[in-house]
Amino acid sequence: SELMTGEIKTAIQYCNYRMHKWISKLDQSPPQVKRPGESVKLSCVISGFQMTNYYMHWMRQKAGGGLEWIGRVNSGSTYDPDYAASLKGQFTLTEDVSKSTQYLEAKSLKTEDTAVYYCARDSH
């Protein structure tokens, strides 16, 4: 919903402010070009904070659109990731704690999956 999009944007703005304050960093994969039906695995390398203390989120933004939440990982836990109901089954979220890296994998890509994909950390 629009309300949720606004809340997510606000949360990310706050999160970005806090991360700059603490000199934390999220380094994401470079842009990639894929054809429909192909797969992609995006990475998000974390530094400046312990990711296992936080939920790590993935979202995307299509051209001209708002942010769309994909899901979150309770980093370092044995819990399964949470996914947006509308996107469940399209994406797989994983992590490698030893490399401080979060991953988003998408299989059987569609043209409508074209977007900028973001990882973000909970603000607390």
3-state secondary structure labels for all residues of 62-105: CCCCCEEEEEEEECCCCCCCEECHHHCCCEEEEEEHHHCEEEEE
Note the pLDDT of residue 124.
63
User: What tokens does 46 get?
Assistant: 């974390």
Nearest to 1 by CA among 83, 69, 79, 77: 69
Note the pLDDT of residue 18.
47
pLDDT tens-place values along the chain, 124 residues long = 344 444 444 444 444 444 444 445 677 778 888 999 999 999 988 888 888 888 899 999 999 999 999 999 989 888 999 999 999 899 999 999 999 899 999 999 999 999 999 988 887 6
CA 44/CA 53 separation, integer angstroms:
16
Domains for the chain: give ranges and CATH numbers: 2-121 (2.60.40.10)
- Give the contacts of 122 (CB within 8 A, at least 6 positions apart): 15, 54, 55, 56, 57, 72
CA 51/CA 116 separation, integer angstroms:
22
Note the pLDDT of residue 28.
78
Considering the entire predicted model, what is its pTM?
Answer: 0.76
| DSSP reduced 3-state for 123 | coil
Count Cβ atoms within 10 A of the Cβ of residue 43 and give its class: 0-12 exposed, 13-18 middle, 19 or more buried: middle
Note the pLDDT of residue 53.
81
